[in-house]
Copies of this chain bind each other. A is one copy, B any other.
Amino acid sequence: MTKQFTLAELASHIGAELRGEGSTQISGVNTLKDAGRSEVSFLANASYRSQLAQTQAAAVIVNPDAAADVSGAALVLANPYLGFAQVTQLFDNRPPVSPGIHPTAVIADTAEIGSNVSIGAHAVVGEHCQIGDDCEIGPGTVINAHCVLGQGCLLNANVTLCHDVVLGERVRIQSGAVIGGDGFGFAPDNGRWHRIAQLGGVRIGSDVEIGVNTCIDRGALGDTVIGNNVILDNLIQIGHNVQIGDGTAMAACTGVAGSTTIGKHCTIAGAVGIAGHLQLCDGVHIAAMALISKSITEPGAYASGTAQMPMQEWRRSATRFRQLDSIAKRLQQLEKGQKGKS
Contact = CB atoms under 8 A, between A and B. Distances in A.
Interface of A: 28-31, 34, 44, 79, 81-82, 84-86, 88-89, 91-95, 102, 104, 106, 120-122, 124, 126-127, 138-140, 142, 144-146, 156-158, 160, 162-164, 172, 174-176, 178, 181-182, 184-189, 191-199, 207, 209, 211-213, 215, 217, 220-222, 229, 231, 233-235, 237, 239, 247, 249, 251-253, 255, 257, 265, 270-271, 273, 275, 285, 287-294, 296, 298, 300-325, 327-328, 330-331, 334-335, 337-338, 342
Given A305-B306, A334-B335, A289 B273 contact: yes
B191 A126 contact: no
Contact of A337 (B188, B293, B338): B338
Contacts of A257: 251-252, 270, 288
* Copies of this protein chain in the complex: 3
A182 to B, nearest CB: 6
Contacts of A158: 140, 142, 158, 160, 178
Contacts of A144: 95, 139, 157
Given A176-B178, A273-B288, A305-B306, 13 more contacts: A29-B221, A85-B194, A85-B195, A94-B163, A95-B127, A120-B124, A172-B195, A176-B215, A181-B211, A184-B211, A193-B209, A193-B231, A255-B271
A221 B93 CA distance: 11
Contacts of A95: 126-127, 144-146, 163
A10 to B, nearest CB: 14
A160 B176 contact: yes
A286 B229 CA distance: 35
